[in-house]
Structure 1
Amino acid sequence: MEENQLFPVFFKLHRLHVLVVGGGNVGLEKVNAMLQNSPEATVTVVSLSFLPELKTLAKQYANVELVEKAFSCGDLFGKDLVIAATNNKELNQSVWEKAKCSKVLINVADTPELCDFYLGSIVQKGNLKIAISTNGKSPTVAKRLKQVLQEAIPDTLDEVLNKLHLIRDKLKGDFAAKVKKLNSITDVLVDPETKEL
């Protein structure tokens, strides 16, 4: 039976520089997703043309640059991640080849076999963020799971996280002792008997 062997990672995009190749619907979707999750992300979008919505979005963020030109190998210089988001398979393949030669991680939209990473569906409640991956099999299932979790997780969970953070900072002892105490405190979150109270 096939299993999802992806290793989940959360990038601090405000410390990285992302290149998006493509200024159409897919490029807009990817840039928008990054900015919703990381408003201080530094993003450069290279394309021969841009949707008006992408131009409007870029004007709202000083750290988003639109470069109206054809993609070239030099666009990869200084970039940490690349997203190939064009509707041209040959161009996407070329961007992938250049990224691999430059040792830059790349995501080629709708082409799982050419992806070093995926952009999963995201559920966020304050400081809690859950990424959902179907290993590239079905973004639609990930979207539906996102809706279920978004409704199931209470908005007040962020308040709980903040209080637990304060408790953690005040705990004495070594790492193992702190983990044991925090596990004891948070048992209430998963104990079936307390859920009914």
Structure 2
Amino acid sequence: MEGNQLFPVFIKLNDLNTVVIGGGPVGLEKLTAILANSHAARITLVAEQIIDALRDLAKDYPQVELKEKSFEPCDLNEANLVVAATNNHELNLKIKAAAKLRGLLVNVADKPELCDFYLGSIVQKGDLKIAISTNGKSPTVAKRLKEVLNESIPAELDITLQQMSALRETLSGDFSSKVKQLNEVTEILTRDLKK
């Protein structure tokens, strides 16, 4: 099949255990991305060496545990999700195999063929969050689209979301009736686009 066959999901990392393997710049990039989107994510980072920038980041997040040691498959025993962020291909394969044996989903940095999921580019305006995927083809294109969306979506949209949430709580009737009422209210968001 052609095209992007990925199924987009938003995961509640605050309720799961994520294990990141890698203590260098790639580990820092992945940890930063996870924490930027899930400030209370429970993360264990395992690496033989951990750079200072990563240690500094972890100081602000008490739920992030740093383990300066060699990776062992048992490091995944309590994991729900795995991110391999090393520059060692053999180690990444070992991590992937250990995760697969435990039925865990794994992301291997810069190796789309080894990934069960990708960490996409994220645009966030308050409660609105948009994930961008290029199916692992070009993170650079995803980054550029993120910049465009960040510039074009007004921050005030979050006010609209909060108002819609309050309105939603006041609606009565069956599901179909509620959807119809909400569609009528939100039609204004696309009215100018139809002209």
- TM class by shorter chain equals over 0.9
The one-letter code sitting in structure 1 at the alignment partner of 2:153 is I
CA RMSD of aligned residues (A): 1.2
CA drift of 1:192 comes to 2.4
User: So what's the TM-score if we normalise by structure 2?
Assistant: 0.98
Corresponding residue of 1:152: 152
User: So what's the TM-score if we normalise by structure 1?
Assistant: 0.97
- Asked if 1:32 is matched to 2:32, the reply is yes
- Asked if 1:191 is matched to 2:176, the reply is no
Corresponding residue of 2:120: 120
Task: Specify the SS of the correspondent of 1:172.
Answer: coil
Pair 1:168–1:49, CA change in 2 (3 A): same
The one-letter code sitting in structure 2 at the alignment partner of 1:55 is R
Task: Specify the SS of the correspondent of 2:166.
Answer: helix
Q: Deviations 1:55-82 (Å, cap 9, x if unpaired)?
A: 0011111000110111001100110000
Q: Is the 8 A contact 1:47 1:70 kept in 2?
A: yes
Runs of 4+ displaced beyond 6 Å? none
Stretches of structure 1 that go unaligned for 5 or more consecutive residues are none
Identity among equivalent positions (%) equals 58
Q: Deviations 1:175-197 (Å, cap 9, x if unpaired)?
A: 110001101110110112788xx
Corresponding residue of 2:44: 44
The one-letter code sitting in structure 2 at the alignment partner of 1:178 is K
The one-letter code sitting in structure 2 at the alignment partner of 1:142 is A
Q: Is the 8 A contact 1:188 1:194 kept in 2?
A: no
